[in-house]
Structures are given as C-alpha cells and as structure tokens.
C-alpha cells in the first residue's frame, strides 16, 4: 500500500511539472498610444461662432479587468467630474491607484514637442507608451475642451491583443462623447463657464444629472473628424 501511494505521489509530481513546463506563456508587448487632434481650422457652432477644437490632458488604465472609469446612468464620481469639467485627470488617477492591483495606469498631459502640460490644439498630439500582457485591455479619457462637462472615453475597455496577437490599429471608433451630468451644458466654444473662458475651476451651474452619451440641443463635431487614437506595438 505504501508503495502504491508513493508511486501516485511521484506520478502527481511529474504531471504537475509537465503541465508547468508546457504551459504556454502569455505574450508581452510595449504599445505606443497616440491621441491626435486632427481638426482643421476652426469649428463653427450653431450660432456661427468659430472656436478651435481642443483636447485636455487625460489618463489611461491597462488591466485584465474592465476597470470602468464611470458607470452609465449613475452620478459621476468626483474624479470624472474634474476630468470632464476642468480637464484635470489627477484625482481620477489617484482614486484608481488604490484599486488597480497589477494593472498599469498613468496620465498624459504634455503635448508631443512641448515641455510642459497643456491641452492639444489642432495638429497637436499626446503620446505615451505602456507595457501589457496578453489578456489586458486599455481604457482612457480626455475632455472635450470647449465644453462644460463632456469627455471622450470608450464604452468598455479595448482589447490590446486579438487571437493572441498584439493589435496595431486605429481605435478612434471605440471612443464616445459622454456628458458627465455635473454641469449644465452651454453651446460649445462660447460658454462663459467652459474651461477656456471660466475664471476658475469648477464654475458653472450644477446639473445633478448622470453620466450618459451627450444628447442636447447643441451641435458637436463628428468624433472621427477631429480626433484620432492609434495603438502601435513598439517591440
């Protein structure tokens, strides 16, 4: 009997060693994410006022979990409110920093070719690099700069690997324009309480709404005509 159990233990050890030896390792890749303001000239709102399209600094998360930055139909957390109203991703990043585990998160705030944080105007771009392993996904957010509380983000995290291979893709169509529901909207490019014109942060009439896709009486540029986001493997 002792011999039988001894043989079983040896078999079990050999099986575990074999499974470990032949387990397929997950691929790892470094990606460059580029966020471009591809708008040309100036946008024109319904009132005929012209304004430059702008995108604020923002933040990103890479994780195996969804790691949602907001919940549709729910009140925006303070971090999203600050991102959407003032283009400030710091609080949002801080709030996620205690939850991400082995995920990676960061802030993009300095335009390519610049040496200090700023929004990107027509022709400008943000870039950042991040390492990811197979199964991890990307989510990010940036403010529609000429608004009261609108921001771009995907509705769900974007897979960085497809069928085991790193993607190299234009993911612009994954980004939606959201209304944080925290401040009453004014016409884009003209509102006195919008980030480029407000006297200080957190100005404007409180809305007490919920996060939803933007749906009001104003006109906004088609996303793909002003914004381009690409993911490119770099190793």
E-state strands within 3-117: 28-37, 43-44, 50-51, 55-63, 104-108
All residue ranges of the chain with pLDDT < 50 are 3-8, 10-11, 13-15, 17-21
Superfamily of domain 26-233: F-spondin domain (2.60.40.2130)
The predicted model scores a pTM of 0.86
| Structural domain boundaries in the chain | 26-233
Instruction: Count the Cβ atoms, other than its own, within 10 Å of residue 170.
Output: 13
Residue carrying structure tokens 């004014």: 186
Strand pairing of 161-162 and 158-159? unpaired
Contact 136, 62 (CB under 8 A): yes
Q: Which element (helix H / strand E) includes 144?
A: strand 137-144
With tokens 């390792």, the residue in question is 25
Please name the residue that has the structure tokens 């969804």. 66
Q: What is the pLDDT of residues 129-168, one digit of tens each?
A: 999 999 999 999 999 999 999 999 999 999 999 999 999 9
d(C-alpha 110, C-alpha 197), whole Å: 21
Ramachandran bin of 92, using left for φ above 0, alpha for ψ from -120 to 50, beta for the remaining angles: alpha
- What are the pLDDT digits (tens) for 103-129? 789 999 999 999 999 999 999 999 999
């Amino acid at each position: 009997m002792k011999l039988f159990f001894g043989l079983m233990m040896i078999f079990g050890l050999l099986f575990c060693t074999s499974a470990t030896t032949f387990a397929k390792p997950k691929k790892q890749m470094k990606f460059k994410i580029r966020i471009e303001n591809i708008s040309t000239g100036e946008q024109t709102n319904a009132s005929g006022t012209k304004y430059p399209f702008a995108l604020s600094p923002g933040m990103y998360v890479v994780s195996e979990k969804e790691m949602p930055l907001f919940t549709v139909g729910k009140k925006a957390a303070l971090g999203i409110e600050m991102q959407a109203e003032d283009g400030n991703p710091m609080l949002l990043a801080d709030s996620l920093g205690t939850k991400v585990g082995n995920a990676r998160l960061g802030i993009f705030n300095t335009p390519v070719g610049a040496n200090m944080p700023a929004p990107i105007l027509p022709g400008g771009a943000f870039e950042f690099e991040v390492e990811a392993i197979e199964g991890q996904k990307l989510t990010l957010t940036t403010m529609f700069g000429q608004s009261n509380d609108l921001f771009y983000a995907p509705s769900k995290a974007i897979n960085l690997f497809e069928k085991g291979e790193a993607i190299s893709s234009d993911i612009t169509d994954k980004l939606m324009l959201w209304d944080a529901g925290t401040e009453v909207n004014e016409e884009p490019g003209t509102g006195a309480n919008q980030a480029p014109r407000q006297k200080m942060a957190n100005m404007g009439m409180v809305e007490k709404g919920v996060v939803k896709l933007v749906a009001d009486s104003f006109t906004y540029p088609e996303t793909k005509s002003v914004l381009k986001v690409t993911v490119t493997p770099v190793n």
